[in-house]
Structures are given as structure tokens and as C-alpha cells.
Amino acid sequence: MTKTLPQTPTFRLDGQRAVVTGAGRGIGLAAAVALADAGADVTLLARSTTEIQQAAEAINAKGGRAQAISLDITDLSAVTAFFNAQPAFNILVNNAGTNKPKSILDVSEDDFDAVLDLNVKSTYFVTQQVTQRMITQKVTGSLIHMTSQMGHVGGPNRSLYCASKWALEGLNKSIALDLAQYGIRSNTIAPTFIETPLTKPFFEDKDFLASVLKKIKLGRLGQVEDLMGAVVFLASPASGLMTGSSMVIDGGWTAE
């Protein structure tokens, strides 16, 4: 008698509609590529029209399905108008964010507003718009929020960034509870320092680079490719029982 074996859940996303904020470069671009490679139809959102158009064209050229939409997610009326005009998405990757590394002694009100408005407020209301459409149209799916290891620990000159990322970690847990009844899952990815066009200038400071590498126990900076598998996993049925959790991809930073 042949033994019945369990079936590995699929990591494929064929027929799924995904939207990624801050998708023009770095982590957001990598997330969009990963989702498209897994079969999703991906909408790339960013303020940088040229970058996302080029990214969508490159994804389509390799056989994926992608479209670019210029959208400033800090403009909440524009956010509402965009999502109201769209069929429901199955997958949201909240990636857009910013950082102003300063001591708490030097942070201005403008600095505070710039970081918290984009990293928290805009993320909150994008999520609200996406989930309202999902619920109305009876679509299940996955919300993925890019936070940071700094949403689990503190760091010097990171008071604003930590405040925003800890906020997202808390938000994630709460909305996971709100949305579970609708079959909508919510999780975070919390990376260590990832080498991107945004972060690369910081690593030109050799002392700063040395301090970072001392904390990353695997001894190297993260690359965007280190996050792509996690994006697909959290978007797919392979993580079907996972919600309200965080995948900390930090090379061991938070292990001690």
C-alpha cells in the first residue's frame, strides 16, 4: 500500500494581484520582482515615475506582469482615489519609508513629521484602503510590512526610525487580529542594514560600517536578494497559518 504523503504548499502566486509601495529601487523593487517571478501581477507604486516605469518594463521583458503607477502615498486623497478605482489586491507590500538619523537632541518637528507621516501614517491608510477593498470584494490575501531590526531593538541616532518601526510592529499585531476573520493575514519583515542606493552612502563611513558589521554576526551587509524569498513566502499559501508575526532577517543582530 502506497503511503499518503503531505503535499508541500505552493509558493506560486499565479492569478494574484499585488501592489508594492516605494517600488522604484532597493527593497521595494526586489519585492516587486520576487512577486512577479512567483506569478503575481504586480503594481509598482512610487513618486519616481521614471524608475518604476523602467522597473515594470524590465519585469515584463523577462516574462512577468507589472505596471507602474506614480503615486505619492503621503497624499491621502490621492491614495483613496487610486484604490477606489482598482479591483481588490490580494497582496500588499508596504515598503515606502524614510529615515533621518539624528540624536533625539537634534530632531526637529519637521524631521519628526517627515519620518512618522510616511513610515506610519501613510502606511496605516494605504493598508486601510487595501483591506477595505479586499473585504468588500470578499478577497483573501496577505499584507506584508517592511519594518526593521530597529523595530525590535534600539540604536544610537535612530529615535525617529525606531519609533516608526516599533509602531509598525505593534500595528501589524493589532490589524492581524482585526482582519483574521476575513481571511486576511498581516506580517512584517524586519531586515538588518541592507545595501541599497539609499543606504550605500552611509557605508562610506568606515567606522560606521565597522560598527554595523560587528553587530551582524554573519559578517556581511544584507542584500535585497536576502529578502526576496521571505516576501514570496509571506505572500503565498506556504505561510497560510502565519499572521501577526515578524520575520527578522538580521544576520544575528538581535540574537544577543
pLDDT in tens, 91-117: 999 999 999 999 999 999 999 999 999
Q: Average pLDDT of the chain?
A: 97
Domains of the chain from N-terminus onward: 17-255 (3.40.50.720)
Query: Are residues 191 and 31 in contact, defined by beta-carbon separation less than 8 angstroms?
Result: no
Q: What is the mean pLDDT of residues 75-85?
A: 98
Residues recognised as catalytic: 161
Query: Are residues 140 and 87 in contact, defined by beta-carbon separation less than 8 angstroms?
Result: no
Q: C-alpha grid cell for residue 255?
A: 540574537
The band of 145, judged by pLDDT with boundaries at 50, 70 and 90, is very high
For the beta sheet containing 141-146, the strands, ordered from the edge strand earlier in sequence to the opposite edge, are: 65-70, 41-46, 17-21, 91-94, 141-146, 184-191, 246-249
The band of 197, judged by pLDDT with boundaries at 50, 70 and 90, is confident
The band of 198, judged by pLDDT with boundaries at 50, 70 and 90, is confident
